[in-house]
Amino acid sequence: MIYPENYSYFKPSKLKSFFREILRVWVTQPYIPSEDVAGFEYHPKKNRFLMAVARLLLPLLARRGLICLASPFMTERSYGMEFRAGMKFLEIGCGAGWEAHLTDPSLSIRSMARRGILAVGVEPSAACRAELVKDGVRVYPTVKALELNETGFFDFIRMNWALEHVADPVDMLRTLTGFCGPQTKMLITVPNYDGISYKIAPDCIEVPVHLQYFTEKSLRKLCVMTGFKVDRLFTFCTPSLLAVMIGFKENKEPNQVLYRERKRLLGLMDDAYRTKKGDELFCLLSRSFE
């Protein structure tokens, strides 16, 4: 995996993360699309009080930080699994363990460990590994090290916006088949290069931080090649990425796009839902034993 030394998930402030999550719940309200992704809960429900709070905050936050806050998040229902004490959970690329990108913080690996779930991680940053072990997470620097030290099946494996950082995704997934039993579920979330934002600005890619970009077709092909079957796969949009792409293409400040062009963003998000061209791919897999 390739990450810069100052990658945000390496050195999060717990206090700042706490307040940011509260702000995110408020600020997300004006960006909840009218089209609700069927069977998938990835944003809070509309709330009049929170909407009123958001309207007061937006002019202030538009000057700084709004782009980091207008992000809906996935919940336990999104995963289709009830997590409980005694389960065995593996996360590839977990950072310092307090956050899981676009995911409810209660599903971070350290939160799961505190719920009595046997949490195992793979994380290349030595500083992050030192933090993870404080909450009892068994953590390894590479998947190969994991393979040498862990045995048995996991109940759930998560690669939450991690596979795009991997040099050899085929080798990665083939290795993980050894940890997948008949009941194991694996979640892969990655950017969708066939999504609406990349249609707006196809050159706006994060190289070399992202070594791979996927489409629905290529991700399905990768799963078949490596011994997995796709249980659910769909796409969704986030207003922040759309604002970044519009800003890049039209020479605008993304924070101001979020603040001043909410109607346009919501229209694009609804279009993406109808055309299945969301910017993020959400894929739940299980091992194919055929």
pTM above 0.85, yes or no: yes
Same domain flag for 181 and 222: yes
Same domain flag for 120 and 242: yes
Q: Is residue 1 part of a domain?
A: no
Same domain flag for 133 and 119: yes
Same domain flag for 201 and 114: yes
Q: Is residue 165 part of a domain?
A: yes
Cβ within 8 Å of residue 137, ≥6 positions away = 94, 97, 109, 110, 113, 119, 120, 121
Same domain flag for 25 and 166: no
pLDDT band at 207, cuts 50/70/90?
Answer: confident
Same domain flag for 96 and 57: no
Q: How many domains, in total, are found in the chain?
A: 2
Q: pLDDT value at position 75?
A: 83
Of 70, 79, 72, the residue nearest 45 (C-alpha): 72
The CATH number given to whatever domain includes residue 254 is 3.40.50.150
Same domain flag for 180 and 118: yes
Q: Is residue 211 part of a domain?
A: yes
pLDDT band at 222, cuts 50/70/90?
Answer: very high
Q: pLDDT value at position 37?
A: 62
Give bridge partners of residue 192 from the DSSP assignment: 214
* CA distance linking residue 107 with residue 149, whole number of Å: 25
pLDDT band at 43, cuts 50/70/90?
Answer: confident
> Residue 246 above 70 pLDDT?
yes
Q: What is the helix (H) or strand (E) element at residue 58, kind and residue range?
A: helix 48-61
Cβ within 8 Å of residue 184, ≥6 positions away = 153, 154, 155, 156, 157, 286, 287
* CA distance linking residue 280 with residue 48, whole number of Å: 28
List, for residues 84-115, the tens digit of each pLDDT value: 999 999 999 998 898 888 888 889 999 999 99
Q: Is residue 34 part of a domain?
A: no
Q: Is residue 134 part of a domain?
A: yes
- The Cα angle at residue 239 between residues 230 and 68, in degrees rounded to 5: 105
Q: Do strands 228-236 and 280-287 pair parallel, antiparallel, or not at all (unpaired)?
A: antiparallel
Q: Is residue 76 part of a domain?
A: no
> Residue 11 above 60 pLDDT?
no
Same domain flag for 152 and 87: yes
Listed range (73-82, 111-120, 259-268) with the worst mean pLDDT: 73-82
Q: Is residue 178 part of a domain?
A: yes
Same domain flag for 206 and 96: yes
Q: Is residue 8 part of a domain?
A: no
Which residue range is the domain that position 24 belongs to? 13-29+42-61
Same domain flag for 25 and 95: no
Same domain flag for 52 and 99: no
Same domain flag for 66 and 54: no
